[in-house]
Amino acid sequence: MKVNDAVFGLVLTTLGVTVLTVVQSYPKIPGQQVGPALFPGLIALGLSICGVILMIRGWLNRSKIAWFEAPEWFHSPRHRSGFGILMGGIIFYIAASNTIGFLPTAWLLLVALMLNLKVNLVRSTVLALLIALAVHFALYKLLRVPLPWGWMAPIAW
Amino acid sequence: MWTALMQAFGMVFEPYTLMVMVFASLFGLFVGAVPGLTATMATALLVPVTFFMAPIPAIAAIVTATAMAIFSGDIPGCLLRIPGTPASAAYTDEAYAMTRKGQAEVALGAGLIFSAVGGLFGTAVLILAAPALADFAIQFSSFEYFWLVLLGLTCAVFITSDRPLKGIITLILGLLVACVGLGNPAGFPRFTFGNSEMMGGIGMIPMMIGMFAISEVIRYVVDTSPPAELVVEKVGNVLTGQWELAKKYPIQILRGSALGTAVGALPGAGADIAAWMSYAMSKKFSKEPEKFGTGHIEGIVESGAANNSALAGAWIPALVFGIPGDSITAIVIGVLYMKNMNPGPTLFTTQPQNIYAVFLLFIIANIIMIPLGILCIKASKRILKVPRNILMPLILLFCIVGTFAINNSLFDVGVMLVAGVVAYLLEENEFPIAPAILGVVLGGMLEENFITSMIKSDGNLMAFFERPIAATLGVMTLLVWFAPLALKRMRRS
């Protein structure tokens, strides 16, 4: 996704000014000239200046570079849904893995992504299960990472 | 010294370490040979596994996997015209042109042999330079460290990027991320939004996995270009003719290795930039520059040596000062801290056995690269046919569980996702990523030395130039910042 530099500049300047405002409330250290606000304050100042330069540059180039330019994949439903599945899948894992458990969450995520990437249904279903089981075995059994069991707790092995 | 050396031999030649090296080699060769998977990604994916290892096997895994991956990136470049890693991109067209002429064996063989030679050259410089620099650096105070870190960050922005403004912005974003949490000289919680997970700061490893692995998975999922096709059916003996090449191009090999090591040692510039610079230099000084681009081996010999020597070069500032030479050593520094091998000049006096072990690992990795590389080239047709539509979901799952494994925290998985999306967006808009990584890794060090120096000097900025080495480093930094502006103005007037 191509975005005109002016848009980036605006976002960065806003971020810089926000940080500068926030650090004003940081406490001073008694007897010292420097405190926790100094370093992030200097960085935010630099970010704001760079943001303004980027805004000017983007504005001057606005006839050549569009404000937003959708990438090629944006026009392909399969690639668009692939991006959605990837983002949604990771968010789903964060939200649901503790409740549902690692194995079902990982399996669902893998099946959805593989189907989108044109792996056939039977292959996706079986491979996703094998991969989820193998990763679970390697991490949970060998490396002792506490992957959640969730709904599968009664049959945990 | 001898006791430490013997201890190092003992640690490196332990069966477990050797077994780790073999597996890491195979992993590195595979990752490098699959287009879209990079050496940095290999390192990021290895971190969760190395978390459960002793320090030396952990470092062994990273050293061998990265050396192998940088070489094997040449394979798809040569056979498919797609570089396996960015480090091979400089001479991909040249290698592919050789393949079209029926000389794939020579191109792949040169890539392998001169990668190993370059890697060994870089290792020799690492062995000689690092301890000498450490001796020198032991006298450094916060003033010198402040300038050294700033000079490193400056190099990352100005030397490695053709867009300094965008480089400065990503560097600042990295520094801002490093400000999050309690880890500042005042111990005051900054930008934590009252979230206890953010008190300890943004995890470096989840960020790296996001920026280098998740962003690649995104790129694959949204890639609309058709798959490339193999143009060779069988690759013959890759060693044939390599000795003749070594005799024909000794200067090029030496020059590529030396330039690669120097570029690698510059913070932010890694194997990819070393290869581009070296290829350009090879063409400039060649007696047959007109042959470049038509399937001529000279540039491949020189830049193939350069990208592997850069790997070892990057470890020099990483071990001596804790300043990463490239994005791989940026991750390595995180691993060193996790393993209580905090980089810095004192590491050379307190844990010399570990330093010698690192040197030995580099030597072994570059030697075993030749037989394993030959096997990898033989199996290349099969590796290149591995279905990436199954591999990428597997990598995604491994990223998630690997990130989770560091702190058993789902918050880290969220950090990984955000870092991946941000890195993808920034790269799509031509913002360089390397300065951001350096900002995150060095932000704490820069602030600590800046604040300490300010307190010592009671706020007097001139104190930053009062010590001779600090003054030299300071002037060098300012020159890198302002010389291009001054030159531009002079040219205009």
Structure tokens that stand for A69 in this block: 């330019």
Closest approach of B198 to chain A, Cα-based (Å): 16
Of A33, A35, A90, which is closest to B413 when you measure between CB atoms? A90
Closest approach of B430 to chain A, Cα-based (Å): 9
Structure tokens that stand for B159 in this block: 């030397």
Tell me the H-state helices in chain A: 5-24, 38-60, 77-100, 102-116, 121-136
How many residue pairs bridge chain A and chain B with CB atoms within 8 Å of each other? 155
Q: Do A131 and B49 touch (CB under 8 A)?
A: no
For residues B431 and B438, what is the distance between their CA atoms, to the nearest angstrom? 14
| Residue A1: per-residue pLDDT | 76
Q: Do B224 and A87 touch (CB under 8 A)?
A: no
For residues B476 and B266, what is the distance between their CA atoms, to the nearest angstrom? 14
Q: What CA–CA distances, in Å, run from B154 to B187, B347, B414, B478? A: 27, 26, 30, 9
Query: In sequence order, what are the residues at sequence separation of 6 or more whose Cβ sits closer than 8 angstroms to the Cβ of residue A84?
Result: none
Helix (H) or strand (E) holding A68, with range, is strand A68-69
Question: At residue A129, what are phi and psi to the nearest 5 degrees?
Answer: -65, -45
For residues A55 and A62, what is the distance between their CA atoms, to the nearest angstrom? 10
| Residue B239: per-residue pLDDT | 83
Helix (H) or strand (E) holding A3, with range, is strand A2-3
Closest approach of B54 to chain A, Cα-based (Å): 13
For residues B46 and B182, what is the distance between their CA atoms, to the nearest angstrom? 28
Nearest CA in chain A to B394: A131
- Quick one: how far is CA A71 from the chain centroid? 19
Domain spans of chain B?
Answer: 2-492
Q: Do A47 and B428 touch (CB under 8 A)?
A: no
Q: Do A110 and B393 touch (CB under 8 A)?
A: yes
Tell me the pLDDT of chain A averaged across its residues: 91
| CB within 8 Å of chain A, chain B residues 172-231 | 172-173, 175-176, 179, 184-186, 188, 190-191, 214, 217-218, 221-224
Of A72, A91, A114, which is closest to B390 when you measure between CB atoms? A114
Closest approach of B447 to chain A, Cα-based (Å): 6
pTM (whole model) above 0.90: no
Is A66 at the interface with chain B, CB within 8 A? no
Is B459 at the interface with chain A, CB within 8 A? yes
Asked whether B28 and B69 are in contact (CB, 8 A), the reply is yes
Of A26, A40, A113, which is closest to B393 when you measure between CB atoms? A113
Q: Tell me the sheet residues that pair with A2.
A: A69
Which candidate in A26, A38, A43 is best for mutational testing of the B interface (most B CBs within 10 A)?
A43
Q: Do A86 and B400 touch (CB under 8 A)?
A: no
Rg, chain B, Cα only: 22
Q: Do A40 and B179 touch (CB under 8 A)?
A: yes
Q: Do A73 and B224 touch (CB under 8 A)?
A: yes
Closest approach of B134 to chain A, Cα-based (Å): 28
For residues A27 and A36, what is the distance between their CA atoms, to the nearest angstrom? 7
Which candidate in B397, B427, B429 is best for mutational testing of the A interface (most A CBs within 10 A)?
B397
Question: At residue A2, what are phi and psi to the nearest 5 degrees?
Answer: -90, 130
For residues B130 and A152, what is the distance between their CA atoms, to the nearest angstrom? 53
- Judging contacts by C-beta atoms under 8 Å, the chain B residues touching residue A45 are none
Of A8, A40, A139, which is closest to B176 when you measure between CB atoms? A40
Amino acid identity, residue A41? G
Q: What is the pLDDT along chain B (493 residues), one digit of tens a residue?
A: 778 888 888 889 999 999 999 999 999 998 888 877 788 888 888 888 888 888 999 999 999 999 999 888 888 888 878 788 888 888 888 888 888 888 888 899 998 999 999 999 999 999 989 888 888 888 889 999 999 889 888 887 876 666 788 999 999 999 999 999 988 888 889 998 888 888 888 888 888 889 888 998 999 999 887 776 666 667 778 888 888 888 899 999 999 999 999 988 887 778 888 888 899 889 888 888 888 888 889 999 999 999 899 989 999 999 888 888 888 888 888 888 888 888 888 888 888 888 899 999 999 999 999 999 998 988 887 887 788 889 899 989 988 998 898 888 999 999 999 999 999 999 889 898 888 888 888 898 899 999 999 988 888 888 899 899 999 999 999 988 888 778 878 877 7
Q: Mean of the pLDDT values across residues A110-115?
A: 96
Choose among B347, B317, B5: nearest CA to B152.
B317
Of A38, A83, A93, which is closest to B400 when you measure between CB atoms? A93
For residues B264 and B277, what is the distance between their CA atoms, to the nearest angstrom? 11
- Judging contacts by C-beta atoms under 8 Å, the chain A residues touching residue B165 are 50, 53-54, 57
Asked whether B192 and B202 are in contact (CB, 8 A), the reply is no
For residues B492 and B87, what is the distance between their CA atoms, to the nearest angstrom? 36
Q: Do A135 and B404 touch (CB under 8 A)?
A: no
Is A132 at the interface with chain B, CB within 8 A? yes
Asked whether A108 and A92 are in contact (CB, 8 A), the reply is yes
Q: Tell me the sheet residues that pair with B190.
A: B181
Asked whether B420 and B403 are in contact (CB, 8 A), the reply is no
Question: At residue B193, what are phi and psi to the nearest 5 degrees?
Answer: 50, 30
Closest approach of B138 to chain A, Cα-based (Å): 26
Is B461 at the interface with chain A, CB within 8 A? no
Which candidate in A50, A65, A90, A127 is best for mutational testing of the B interface (most B CBs within 10 A)?
A90
| CB within 8 Å of chain A, chain B residues 344-363 | none
Asked whether B37 and B216 are in contact (CB, 8 A), the reply is yes
Nearest CA in chain B to A76: B224
Which candidate in B175, B401, B464 is best for mutational testing of the A interface (most A CBs within 10 A)?
B401
Angle between helices A121-136 and A102-116 (to 10 degrees): 140
- Judging contacts by C-beta atoms under 8 Å, the chain A residues touching residue B398 are 135
| CB within 8 Å of chain B, chain A residues 4-63 | 5, 8, 12, 19, 22-23, 26-27, 29, 32-36, 38-40, 43-44, 46-47, 50-51, 53-54, 57
Q: Do A86 and B458 touch (CB under 8 A)?
A: no
Predicted confidence (pLDDT) at residue A29 exceeds the cutoff of 80: no
Choose among A79, A88, A94: nearest CA to B222.
A79
Q: How many CB atoms lie within 10 A of CB B206?
A: 30
**What confidence category does residue A133 fall into, taking pLDDT thresholds of 50, 70 and 90?**
very high
Of B169, B390, B413, which is closest to A94 when you measure between CB atoms? B413
Helix (H) or strand (E) holding B255, with range, is helix B250-265
Of B224, B389, B398, which is closest to A117 when you measure between CB atoms? B389
